[in-house]
């Protein structure tokens, strides 16, 4: 097949795959008119409702603010999303302000993802979730134009995706705790948030009902390195896989000390955001947790995953509470990950996309082009 025919059939495949999506679905209030053959950005706030209140070491909440994004190009729509848990410092106002400043109509080629990232950096620093929303929509769009999902474009084997963990939080009512544990039954790995005062109780409750491996996320909640080490040994004896962000992100020396002695791998989450942080993380951590809302999207997340692997580090793929849009975008990278924590869409009650599925506990990619989602 020559290149022109390839592009034509790719386009056709993309049009068919995208056919349930109509441009009328665009939010007209925020839609920016632009001539054909140019990138047309639109966006709207969309608040995510959590099924259960989220109890972290340093906060509690029942919703997550979000912004849904579309980029239209010659009748094909790419979907993107920004999710803004409060601790990351972005919100609906900051994301919509940033997106309003963008003039994507100056770009006539959606494949210039690198140029568009450079342009976004020139508009304003930070704003990582806002940039991720544009990046995800561009990947969805360009994947649809090529008629292929991104894991294939990257040359990744979809059989090599890891199981995802499913997050459970402590409940002092044993009946409620039992109910929460029963909800984890379809998953092969459970993630426990620690640093909230019931660290051992949560693991002990789980171990009364199941022996599935446990991922531990302390969310910077342990402030004494000797206690942290003691916990690492205790957890290692109870089939835990690793400890994510045990101590404050600024406590680099203590974390390096802990890594030297811990029987479990120590993974950086809050410590790291973007590509230049990967080398810094290598000084004190065994691995990194990559999230699209930190990395400004898929473009840099892919670079982070390949750099981490080149440095001999473990790669974990995480997410925020998000719809299946951003979770499916992250899932395209799953074959590069040792561990996945891609349950963000399962934790919300108002998902508006169909996308990546968890089948028998495993991240399961589909053949749909782009990031593999359709609106529902």
- 359 Cβ contact list (under 8 Å, min separation 6): none
Cα–Cα distance for residue pair 306/213, rounded to 1 Å: 26
* Helical (H) or strand (E) element with 63: strand 59-64
Nearest-approach distance from CB 191 to Mg ion, in angstroms: 9
Nearest-approach distance from CB 99 to Mg ion, in angstroms: 26
Cα–Cα distance for residue pair 57/6, rounded to 1 Å: 51
Q: Looking at 191-199, 205-213, 246-254, 261-269, which segment touches Mg ion (CB under 5 A)?
A: 261-269
Q: Does position 286 bind Mg ion by CB under 5 A? A: no
Q: Does position 269 bind Mg ion by CB under 5 A? A: yes
Specify the residue, 138 or 267, whose C-beta has the smaller distance to Mg ion: 267
Specify the residue, 217 or 322, whose C-beta has the smaller distance to Mg ion: 217
Beta bridge partners, 267, equal: 244, 287
Specify the residue, 289 or 296, whose C-beta has the smaller distance to Mg ion: 289
Would you say 186 and 165 are in contact if contact means Cβ atoms under 8 Å apart?
no
Specify the residue, 83 or 142, whose C-beta has the smaller distance to Mg ion: 83
**Longest Cα separation, the chain:** 65
Nearest-approach distance from CB 3 to Mg ion, in angstroms: 44
188-227 mask for Mg ion (x: CB under 5 A)? Answer: -----------------------------x----------
Nearest-approach distance from CB 334 to Mg ion, in angstroms: 17
Residues binding Mg ion: number (CB under 5 A)? 3
Specify the residue, 69 or 264, whose C-beta has the smaller distance to Mg ion: 264
Beta bridge partners, 170, equal: none
* Dihedrals phi, psi of 84, to nearest 5 degrees: -130, 75
Specify the residue, 149 or 221, whose C-beta has the smaller distance to Mg ion: 221
Nearest-approach distance from CB 290 to Mg ion, in angstroms: 11
Q: Which long-range contacts (CB under 8 A, 24 or more apart) does 62-66 make?
A: 64/320, 64/321, 64/322, 64/348, 65/91, 65/92, 66/92, 66/322, 66/323
Q: Which of 339, 334, 309 shows the shortest CA–CA distance to 215?
A: 339
Specify the residue, 77 or 264, whose C-beta has the smaller distance to Mg ion: 264
Specify the residue, 133 or 219, whose C-beta has the smaller distance to Mg ion: 219
Specify the residue, 195 or 372, whose C-beta has the smaller distance to Mg ion: 195
Q: Looking at 7-15, 51-59, 133-141, 265-273, which segment touches Mg ion (CB under 5 A)?
A: 265-273
Would you say 103 and 71 are in contact if contact means Cβ atoms under 8 Å apart?
no
Q: What is the DSSP string of 278-319?
A: HHHHHTT-SEEEE-HHHHTSHHHHHHHHHHHHHTT-EEEE--
Site for Mg ion in 39-58 (CB under 5 A): none
Site for Mg ion in 229-248 (CB under 5 A): 244
Nearest-approach distance from CB 204 to Mg ion, in angstroms: 22
129: left (phi over 0), alpha (psi -120 to 50) or beta: alpha
Nearest-approach distance from CB 269 to Mg ion, in angstroms: 4
Q: Does position 72 bind Mg ion by CB under 5 A? A: no
Q: Looking at 94-102, 104-112, 264-272, 352-360, which segment touches Mg ion (CB under 5 A)?
A: 264-272
Cα–Cα distance for residue pair 284/94, rounded to 1 Å: 32
Nearest-approach distance from CB 338 to Mg ion, in angstroms: 15
Specify the residue, 254 or 269, whose C-beta has the smaller distance to Mg ion: 269
Cα–Cα distance for residue pair 141/173, rounded to 1 Å: 47
Report which residue's Cβ sits closest to Mg ion.
269
Nearest-approach distance from CB 219 to Mg ion, in angstroms: 6
Nearest-approach distance from CB 213 to Mg ion, in angstroms: 17
Q: Which of 190, 236, 179 shows the shortest CA–CA distance to 212?
A: 190
Cα–Cα distance for residue pair 138/39, rounded to 1 Å: 9
Cα–Cα distance for residue pair 307/220, rounded to 1 Å: 24
User: Can you list the positions of beta strands (E) in 65-149?
Assistant: 66-73, 76-83
Q: Which residues bind Mg ion (CB under 5 A)?
A: 217, 244, 269
């Amino acid at each position: 097949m020559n290149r022109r025919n390839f592009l034509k059939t790719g386009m056709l495949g993309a049009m068919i795959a995208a056919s349930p999506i109509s441009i009328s679905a665009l939010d007209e209030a925020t839609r920016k008119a632009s001539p054909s053959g140019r990138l047309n950005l639109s966006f709207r706030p969309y608040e995510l409702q959590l099924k259960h209140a989220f109890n972290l070491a340093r906060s509690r909440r029942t919703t997550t603010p979000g912004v849904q994004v579309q980029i239209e190009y010659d009748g094909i729509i790419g979907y993107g999303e920004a999710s803004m848990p409060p601790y990351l410092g972005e919100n609906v106002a900051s994301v919509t302000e940033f997106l309003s400043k963008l003039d994507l109509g100056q770009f006539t080629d959606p494949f210039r993802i690198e140029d568009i990232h450079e342009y976004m950096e020139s508009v304003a620093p930070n704003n990582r979730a806002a940039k991720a929303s544009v990046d995800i929509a561009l990947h969805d769009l360009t994947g649809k134009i090529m008629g292929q999902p991104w894991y294939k474009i990257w040359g990744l084997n979809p059989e090599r995706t890891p199981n995802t963990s499913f997050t459970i939080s402590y409940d002092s009512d044993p009946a409620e705790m039992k109910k929460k544990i029963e909800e984890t039954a379809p998953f092969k790995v459970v993630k426990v948030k620690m640093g909230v005062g019931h660290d051992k109780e949560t693991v002990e409750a789980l171990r009364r009902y199941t022996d599935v491996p446990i991922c531990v996320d302390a969310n910077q909640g342990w402030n004494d390195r000797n206690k942290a080490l003691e916990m690492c040994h205790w957890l290692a004896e109870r089939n835990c896989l690793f400890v994510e962000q045990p101590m404050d992100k600024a406590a680099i020396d203590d974390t390096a000390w802990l890594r030297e002695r811990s029987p479990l791998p120590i993974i950086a989450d809050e410590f790291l955001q973007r590509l230049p942080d990967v080398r810094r993380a290598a000084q004190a951590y065994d691995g990194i947790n990559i999230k699209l809302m930190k990395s400004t999207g898929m473009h840099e997340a892919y670079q982070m995953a390949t750099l981490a692997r080149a440095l001999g580090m473990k790669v974990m793929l995480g997410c925020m509470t998000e719809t299946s849009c951003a979770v499916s975008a992250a899932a395209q990278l799953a074959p590069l990950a040792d561990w996945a924590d891609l349950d963000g869409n399962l934790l919300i009650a108002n998902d508006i996309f169909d996308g990546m599925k968890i089948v028998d506990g495993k991240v399961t990619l589909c053949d749909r082009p782009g990031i593999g989602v359709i609106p529902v």
